[in-house]
Amino acid sequence: MTSHPITGHTRVYAHFADPVAHVRTPEVMNRFFRQRGIDAVVVPYQVGVEDLPQAVAAARSWKNLAGIGVTMPHKEHIAGLLDDLTEDAVRAGASNVIRRLPDGRLLGGQYDGPGLVAGLLAHGVRLEGARVLLLGAGGSARAVAMALAAAGVSRLDIRNRTTARAAELADRVSGVHPAVRCEVRVENTVAGVDVLVNTTSVGMRGTDPLPVDLTALTAATAVSDIIMKPTRTRLLDHAQRAGCPVVPGIHMLLNQLGPTADFLGLTPTLEPSGEPDPPELTD
């Protein structure tokens, strides 16, 4: 592993989140940069919802800033503050990575959905024709829903605390993928579900309840949680004990590193030595 000193030539990325202590992206991206010999660094910033427009405006004035990463709760809001969006980001109405173009414009990309889908497939989860229950309807859920629909799931049920937001997402997915039966699920059950994905923040704190009633959970359901800290949420613990295939959230991130580096125009100087190593995670 090589390490570049941080200099005036280093490509600097800001990462906006709130809270910020649970965010894995900076440590994972920085490790990836070292492994691939890329002279770049990601620095985390805690930015509240109300301060996001100001933070983006400030970022525009930092001329050596090469881009911005975003995590909860900004993925949806930031899409409206940028100059342009990739097709995936437009479809999702959310962005998780932003590139500053040579002319200074900010271009928003979306790699969470494809990252999650790639992580599920790498764990042997079958998505073609699957019945999926998606928990949450925020910025991450939007990206994940679009990617699952594109991956050929037959049915996508969306359950969210704010039902109107789930309905809006179901409409959005149906508009792009009419072949997928996409509906709001009000019932609190996982009965009949092939794949369960949690995109809510429920599970981040040790005192949190389960995000959904798991009484009907059987080993036939694959379970993923995009929460990365703790590494094993209560949901994943329960699923593992029930014998379910389990895909922790870190795989959504690991499986988007390569495409994200390409989007950011970062050229590795070292060849990859296989899959990106999972970082040593401590909760």
Taking contact as CB under 6 A, which single stretch among the options 39-47, 122-130, 189-197, 199-207 is the one that binds ligand ATR? 199-207
Q: Near ligand ATR by CB under 6 A, which window of 72-80, 97-105, 182-190, 245-253?
A: 72-80
Binding residue count for ligand ATR, defined by CB under 6 A: 18
Contact 23, 46 (CB under 8 A): no
75 interacts with ligand ATR by CB under 6 A = yes
What distance in Å separates the CA atoms of residue 42 and residue 224, rounded to the nearest whole number? 26
Give least dist CB 64 to ligand ATR, A. 27
Kindly name the residue from 74, 75, 159, 165 that is annotated as catalytic: 75
Residue 97 sits in the site that holds ligand ATR (CB under 6 A): no
Annotation says 75 is catalytic: yes
Stretch that binds ligand ATR, among 20-28, 36-44, 138-146, 176-184 (CB under 6 A): 138-146
- Residue 199 engages ligand ATR in binding (rule: CB under 6 A): yes
Q: Judged by CB under 6 A, which stretch of 53-61, 155-163, 175-183, 253-261 contacts ligand ATR?
A: 155-163
Q: Which is nearer to ligand ATR, 96 or 221 (CB)?
A: 96
In the bound state with ligand ATR, the residue whose beta carbon lies nearer, of 25 and 200, is: 200
DSSP the chain: ---PPP-TTSEEEEEEESS-TT--HHHHHHHHHHHTT--EEEEEEE--GGGHHHHHHHHHH-TTEEEEEE-TT-HHHHHTTSSEE-HHHHHHT--SEEEE-TTS-EEEE--HHHHHHHHHHHTT---TT-EEEEE--SHHHHHHHHHHHHTT-SEEEEE-SSHHHHHHHHHHHHHH-TTSEEEE--S---TT-SEEEE-SSTTSSTT---SS--TT--TTSEEEE---SSSS-HHHHHHHHTT--EEETHHHHHTTHHHHHHHTT---SS---SSPPPP----
Write down the least CB distance from residue 143 to ligand ATR, Å. Answer: 8
When binding is defined by CB under 6 A, the residue of 136, 230, 245, 258 that contacts ligand ATR is: 136
**Binder among 165, 172, 177, 251 for ligand ATR (CB under 6 A):** 165
**Residues marked as catalytic:** 75
Which residues would be at the binding site for ligand ATR (CB under 6 A)? 72-73, 75-76, 136-141, 160-162, 165, 199-202
